[in-house]
Amino acid sequence: MTDAAALAATHAACFTVPRPWSAAEFDDLLAGPGAFLLGNPRAFLLGRALAGEAELLTLAVDLALRRRGIARELLAEFADRAARLGAEEAFLEVAADNVAARSLYLRNGWVEAGLRPRYYGPATDAIVMRSRLETAQQGG
Ligand SMILES: CC(C)(COP(=O)(O)OP(=O)(O)OC[C@H]1O[C@@H](n2cnc3c(N)ncnc32)[C@H](O)[C@@H]1OP(=O)(O)O)[C@@H](O)C(=O)NCCC(=O)NCCS
């Protein structure tokens, strides 16, 4: 059983924009089709793979654990899992002013694919990013 309250606590410590998600929201997302959770409650990635496309819904690493390569590892695991679930391409949205995350994604094979103006409120645009996934190997 996933500890949604612990996920929500880490998420709240990591995000003001977008607003933190509640434990109930995590439970709902995790119960949805194609959803998967990687990592642990202090450093996790929530993804979804459906109909040939994957979405990175959120990624959060506790402040005390940062700059150790954990997010990079979670991204690699995400790509692997999503490909195994049949996705050929992945998408995410990131706040335009989130320098750390944008740098992380750009350095790990993601490209900027669009802009959603004021997506996170009047002052904050979202950048849409895309990553092509390697076709999953058979039998793994
Ligand atoms: C963004 C975040 C997930 C990165 O987690 P992390 O485990 O510290 O990242 P990693 O150690 O794997 O870093 C990998 C690369 O990302 C980039 N990066 C990470 N943090 C960075 C920072 N503060 N400033 C600039 N680049 C950064 C660097 O290129 C880094 O490689 P390097 O350490 O060799 O320079 C983490 O800072 C976080 O949880 N932030 C708040 C929530 C958030 O913004 N989530 C993503 C929103 S979509």
Q: pLDDT of 66-98, one tens digit each?
A: 999 999 999 999 999 999 999 999 999 999 999
Beta pairing partners, 56: 47
CB contact at 8 A, 91 and 74: no
CB of residue 116 inside a 6 A radius of ligand 1 = no
pLDDT, tens digit (0-9, with 9 covering 90-100), for 38-73: 999 999 999 999 999 999 999 999 999 999 999 999
CATH T-level assignment (fold) for domain 4-139: Aminopeptidase (3.40.630)
CA 102 to CA 63: how far, in whole Å?
Answer: 17
Q: What is the pLDDT of residue 19?
A: 86
CB of residue 99 inside a 6 A radius of ligand 1 = yes
pTM of the model: 0.95
Location of structure tokens 């990592």: 39
Q: Which of 17, 66, 78 to mutate to test the pocket of ligand 1 (most atoms within 8 A of CB)?
A: 66
Q: What is the pLDDT of residue 1?
A: 60
Structural domain boundaries in the chain: 4-139
